[in-house]
Amino acid sequence: MKHLIIIFSFLAFSYSNAFNQISLNNISKNGRENITQYTITINKNHNKKAQIVVSFIPKNDTLYMAPGAYQLPNRWATFVSDLQLLNKENAPVEISELGGAKWLIKTPQKGRVTLKYNINLTHDEHRWGGGIDGVAFNTDWGVFSTTRAFLILNGSDRTNIEVNFKIDDSWKLTTSWTPKPNNKHSYIVHNYEELTQSMFFAGTQEEILIDKGGFKLVFALGGDDVLAKKEYYANMASGVLNYYEKLMKGLPKLDSSTFTVFINSWSKTDGEAIGNNISLLVKKDAKGMDKNIANFIFAHEFFHLWNGKSFFPKNPNTVEWFKEGYSNYYTLKALFSIGYLSEDEFLSILDDLFYQSYINDDGLGKIPAVQGEEKHNHWGLIYAGGMFNGIAQDIEIRLNSNNTKSLDDLMRNLFQNYSGSDKAYTIQDLQEMLSNLSGKDQTEFFKDYIYGTKRIPIENYMSRVGFSSEIKDNKLQVQKKINTSAFEQDIINSIYGNELSKKN
C-alpha cells in the first residue's frame, strides 16, 4: 500500500488564459531585458544527461532548487554537474555550494548573467519513497521529468519566464505551459510556482486531446502496451469528465484551461499529481488491482478540479477528510457509472483498498479526522475514513429525505456558491449543510467521527439500504441482499453512481 500514500497529493492552483495574454503583452511592452529564459537541451541519443542554460538578472546572491528529494543529502543538486555562472561579459563568476541544493554567488552581479549546468538523468538509480513517477526517468520512447527536479532558481517573484526546449526533430514535447506563438517548443510560464509545479515529456509519445467547452485535457501516452489501450484511456477520460460535469452541473472553474496526464508503461503501477499535471505509471499487462489503481488515481485527481480547485476550504487541514475522502467516493461512483468498475470490484475495493487501510491505520482511535495535516502519514484514516464518512452521510440524507436529496446536493451547492471566487467554505459550513440536507442535526456525528476518534461503523450504515454488511475477521464484507425493495434498489444504484444517468 505504500505507493498509494503519494497518489492523493492535493493539486496546486494553476493560471488563467487571460493572464496568458497579459504575460505575452508584458514581454512585448517591456522588451526582453527583464525576462528569465531557460533553455533545456535533451539529445535523444545521449538522454542520460540534459543541458540547461538560464539567462537572468540576479535578484540576490543565492541560487536554489525547489523543495524535494529530502532522502538525499544534497537533494536535487545530487543530479547537477558542471555548474558554472558567467557574467554579462561572459567571464566566470565564482559560486560556492551551500548544501541542500543551494549555492552562493560570491561576487554581487549587476546586469544579466548566464547559468549553465547539466542534469544527470540517473534518478532511477535511487530509491524514492513516493516512487519514480514524481521525479524523472528515461524510457525507450523519451524522457519524463518534473520541473522541480530540473531547474535552478534565483529570487522568488519572477513573472516574465520563458522556457525553450531543444530536442530532436522526431520528438515532440508535452507540457501544460502556454506555447509561444509561432515558436516550436517555446513556452510562457507565469511565475516560479507554475515553473516548479509542472511536468514534461520529450519523446515519441502519442497525445490525446479532449476539448470540451474550452477545457482541454491532454494525455501523453508512452510504451507499446499503453499505446495499445489508447482508446481505453480516451473513453475513460471522456466518461469521467461527463460524469463529473453532470454531477456538478458545470465544468470546473479554473485559472487554467489545460490539464495534462502523462501515462507511461513501467514495472509497477504508481502515480503522482503536481500542479495541473498527473504522472501515471502503469504496470505492463496490468490487471485487477493494478489496473483499478491506475484508473482510480486519474479519476480521483480529476475530481479535485472541482473539489479542491473550483471550490476550496478556508482552513484546509480541518477538512481534508472531506476533500480527499468524499473525492474517493465520487471516484468510485464515476468509474462504476462508465463501466470501468464492476459491481464486484466496487464492493471488493471497499474492503481491500479502503477498509483495510482504515482499520490498520495506527492513527485510528488516536488522531481525529479534523487533523488533516496528518493525511500523508495516515491516509487510511483521512482518505479511507473520510470516504466512509461520506457514504454514511449520503445514506443518512437519502433515508431521511425519502431519497429526494443526497450528497450530490452538497457538492453542487459548494460548486454553485463557492466556485469562481475567493469565498472559501469552513468545516462549520459543511456541518450545517449536511444537517440541513438530512433534516437531522449532525453535531453528534461530527463529535464522534470528525472531531473525535471513533471508528465509523460503515457496516451498520450499508446494512440499512439493501446491503448485507458486517465486519468479520477484521474485514468489511458487503454484498447486495437477494431480495431488495424498489426503494433499497434505488439507493443502491445511487451509491454505485447510476442515479445520474437516470435523472439526466
Tell me the per-residue pLDDT of 428-456, one tens digit each, with 9 for 90 and over: 999 999 999 999 999 999 999 999 999 99
CB-CB contact of 276 with 308 (8 Å): no
Q: What is the pLDDT of residue 500?
A: 64
Residue 371 near residue 317, CB atoms below 8 Å: yes
CB 411 within 8 A of CB 330: yes
CA atoms within 13 A on the CB side of 93: 25
pLDDT at residue 338, rounded to an integer: 96
**Paired sense of beta strands 186-189 and 199-203, if any:** unpaired
Eight-state DSSP code of residue 419: T
Structural contact between residues 137 and 119, judged by C-beta atoms closer than 8 angstroms? no
What is residue 8's predicted lDDT score, i.e. its pLDDT? 34
Residue 183: φ, ψ to 5°: -140, 100
C-alpha cell, 280: 501515471
Amino acid at 501: S
DSSP 8-state symbol, 302: H
E strand or H helix at 116, and its extent?
A: strand 113-120
Which residues are CB-neighbours of 472 under 8 A, at least 6 positions away? none
Q: What 8-state DSSP symbol labels residue 58?
A: -
Interhelix angle 385-400/427-438, rounded to 10 degrees, is 30
- The predicted pLDDT at position 423 comes to 92
Cα–Cα dist 101/93, whole Å: 18
265, 225 contact by CB (below 8 A):
yes
Helices 385-400, 486-496: crossing angle, 10 deg rounding: 150
Per-residue pLDDT at 275: 87
| Cβ count near 162 (within 10 Å) | 20
Instruction: Please name the amino acid found at residue 79.
Output: F
For residue 419, what are the contacts with CB-CB under 8 A and spacing of at least 6?
Answer: 252, 253, 306, 310, 311
pTM recorded for the entire structure = 0.85
- Residue percentage of the chain with pLDDT more than 70: 92
Q: Which three cell numbers stand for residue 341?
A: 468498475
The alpha carbon torsion through 412, 11, 430, 449 (nearest 10 deg) reads 130
- What is the rounded CA–CA span in Å between residue 225 and residue 286? 9
Q: Cell triple for residue 236?
A: 475513460
Give every CB contact of residue 52 below 8 A, 6+ residues apart in sequence. 38, 39, 40, 41, 115, 116, 117, 118, 119, 150, 151, 152
* Signed CA dihedral, 266, 269, 274, 278: sign only: positive
Phi, psi (5° rounding) for residue 104?
-110, 130
Contact 38, 331 (CB under 8 A): no
pLDDT of residue 27: 40
CA angle at residue 34 from 33 to 35, to 5 degrees? Answer: 100
Beta strand pairing call for 113-120 and 136-139? unpaired
Q: What's the CA gap between 413 and 306, in Å, rounded?
A: 12
Which pLDDT does position 176 carry in this prediction?
92
Q: What is the mean pLDDT of each run of 10 residues along the chain (504 residues)?
A: 35 30 39 84 87 96 96 96 96 96 94 96 90 92 96 93 96 94 91 94 95 90 95 95 96 85 92 90 83 90 93 96 97 96 95 96 97 94 98 98 96 95 95 98 98 98 96 96 94 89 46
